Structure 1
Amino acid sequence: MGEKSPYDPSKPITRPLFPTRVDTIVHTEKGSVHCICPATGVQRDLAFQGFEADRDTLKYRCPAAAFGLECEGRERCHQAGGVMPGDDGRIVRISLADHDRRIFVPTPYGSPSWERGDNRRSALERINNRIDNSFGFERHFIRGLAKMQTRVGLALAVMMAMALGHVNAGRLEQMRSLVQPIPATG
């Protein structure tokens, strides 16, 4: 009684990438891939090398080889993985067909291309929210695709016209605003 749990909430939970073999490669639930040095126990992020569309795999490279780091357990790591690395060090390929697609996707979480896509998605979410809530499309009684397309088109035209009006009036900070604040008097 009184033993402390080994769980540390400040550290992410890692799982073996290849659970059927003893290896030094682990991953988190967000899809980041790490190696654990068998000599020192230091955990390092593998260097992401891109998505190989022809193989449908994510390609990662040994951080010691990619970044020129010293790794005491390099040889033991290669033996554990059963690989004979070339000049580029150990290469790890993650087949998207064999792994959970909620964790491993062609654009890895946190990469610059993921950030760009997430920013685009966030902007569209704001526009969709404005159409649903401000223009009343959340609860509507419109029947027919042609009528709905016409009304949504009109709503988008109104949004663009309001933005243009704010820009022409010199109110750039209100370009995305649907309502003009009441000027302070006094």
Structure 2
Amino acid sequence: MDQPPEGDRERPIDRAAGHWEAVVDDMAATADRLREAGADVVELHPGDIVPRADIGGFDVLVPDAEFERLRETVADTALTATDVFRAEESGVTFAVAVLAASDGSAAVCCPLYYDRADETVQSLQRAARDGDPLRTFVRPLANEEAVVLQFDDADVFFEADATDETGESGEQTGSDGTDAPEADGDE
């Protein structure tokens, strides 16, 4: 069977769009808590998220203004603490990655989604199990540059995908990475 043209493929988010809205709301609440604690927080609102084996992670398209704030934040601050919160709905895993400065002065919140059955995602998951980092290439529409967010403990994106720690599907779970990622500058 022929594959549909790239532009005609179903996106995982199409199966669980209502859940995505809840994830973005949860991200905003997390960002508010971080701000109350004194952090300068950048919230990302991706227009598209594509898993890509060639980059070892996700290609994330964000509005230009958010990209500029992200670029400024990672230029001035090492983001060394990580939390990843996951939930699953209709075979789609949703995650909110929170990268923060160890002193709590700055943080970046980035929501992601992926189809657990996608071959590229499964390849990324195998690489994570082998100890490879997961990268998120955040870029603006112009696609002239990217900020690379690297997660050295990539398993936090994939472990317990089908169920949470209590064994119930669809619940939100969190993981704190002690081997924290570093937000690299422009690529």
TM-score by length of 1: 0.25
Query: Structure with the greater relative contact order (CA < 8 A, sep ≥ 6): 1 or 2?
Result: 2
User: TM-score, structure 2 length as denominator?
Assistant: 0.25
Which structure: larger Rg? 1
Higher share in strand: 2
